[in-house]
Amino acid sequence: MSTGDDMSTSTPPSSAADDRARVAELLGREPRGRYEIVVRDAVGDPVVLRNAPFLDDGTPMPTRYWLIGSEEVRRIGRLEASGGVDAAEAAVPADELAEAHARYAAERDAEIPANHEGPRPSGGVGGTRVGVKCLHAHWAWHLAGGDDPVGRWIEGQLTSSDTDPLVAIRDTSTTVHLPDGTTHEMPWGATTLTDRWLRDTDPPRPEALTNALGTIADHLDDVLREHPELLDTTGLTFAGPTVASLARVEIGADEVDDRIALARDAGEEIFRIVATDTTADRAFHPGLPSAHVDTIVATCCIVLAFLRRLHLDTADLVTVPVDHGPVARG
């Protein structure tokens, strides 16, 4: 699904009962307030709801536009998983964001009767007062025609990032997000891989490094058995706190762009250096924070295991913080 010819704000012929059943299916529950379907996809499936400012029981509903289309939820969840919330907030000027929140709130509040007494919905997009909380809410408003700078930023990001697999490295797991929306979680992250293979000696023994690389490669083979098309990928993105540290080591500085390219040859060279240094020596590498002196070797193992197995010469490293996985709905 894109934001072009296959997305419509018109309503094709459809019964109210069918629409309500489908909305409940996409939400995973019965709607608790009044709404309109304001955006559908090419086949008429609901994508965005416009909510009344109160639920049926009188509870304030701050989120005016709600994203429910399964494909759009997947796309935005993937963007959030790669640190999209922080990246969007950094990219959009604060004054423009504040003005967008005010426009959103004004439209919602205009639907509240003048004589209303009691609690009222507050905040701007998705109930947010300051900054960016949820990209799903911004994308829903944008698709519905809202004047939202975050929505425009999202559109640019989706255009460039939908086709590359994303590998999110955390302390205790590594999750592969595939373009078709499926995810595969490996029970090895930067800390657990370090604890299992790389702590016995300082620096690690060559056979320990081989075992760490092989552990990731074995799990990646499990993914490839289910998704052999992954072997045909021409791009790969890594994200996570230790990935950001790897990017800083590559640049040799504390301040780096939100996304940098890492050539495989450069990654191999960094791996050779940090894997043969003692922990104490690693602490002097420019850009490497003290928190990741222990785990940078494991991070290199994970990144290189993917690059080697997929025969890639380069990958992108995302340096903004990573959220804890895709968010279900905005």
> What does pTM read for this prediction?
0.59
Q: Provide the pLDDT confidence category of residue 162 given band limits of 50, 70 and 90.
A: low
d(CA 125, CA 101): 5
Q: For 20-30, how does the pLDDT look when each residue is reduced to its tens digit (9 = 90+)?
A: 999 999 999 99
Cβ neighbours for 40, distance < 8 A, ≥ 6 positions apart: 7, 8, 9, 10, 11, 12, 46, 47
Cross-sheet strand order for the sheet of 7-8: 7-8, 33-41, 46-55, 65-67
What pLDDT, on a 0 to 100 scale, did the predictor assign at position 330? 32
Q: 236 with 310: CB under 8 angstroms?
A: yes
What pLDDT, on a 0 to 100 scale, did the predictor assign at position 130? 87
Point out the least confidently predicted range of 12-16, 34-38, 104-108, 247-251.
Answer: 12-16
User: Does 13 have pLDDT greater than 80?
Assistant: no
User: Does 327 have pLDDT greater than 80?
Assistant: no
Listed residue (145, 172, 186, 155) closest to 92, CA to CA: 155
Average pLDDT of the residues of the chain: 89
Report H helices in the chain.
16-27, 70-81, 84-91, 94-109, 135-143, 149-161, 190-197, 206-226, 241-251, 264-276, 279-282, 296-310
Q: For 55-77, how does the pLDDT look when each residue is reduced to its tens digit (9 = 90+)?
A: 999 999 999 999 999 889 988 98
Backbone angles phi, psi at 289, to 5 degrees: -70, 150
Task: Identify residue 204 by its one-letter amino acid code.
Answer: P
Point out the least confidently predicted range of 93-97, 120-124, 164-168.
Answer: 164-168
Average pLDDT on 237-256 reads 93
DSSP 45-79: -EEEEEEEEEETTS-B---SEEE--HHHHHHHHHH
What pLDDT, on a 0 to 100 scale, did the predictor assign at position 329? 29
Long-range contacts of 253-260 (CB under 8 A, 24+ apart): 253/286, 253/287, 254/287, 256/287, 256/319, 257/319, 258/83, 258/87, 258/90, 258/318, 258/319, 258/320, 259/316, 259/317, 259/318, 259/319, 260/316, 260/317, 260/319
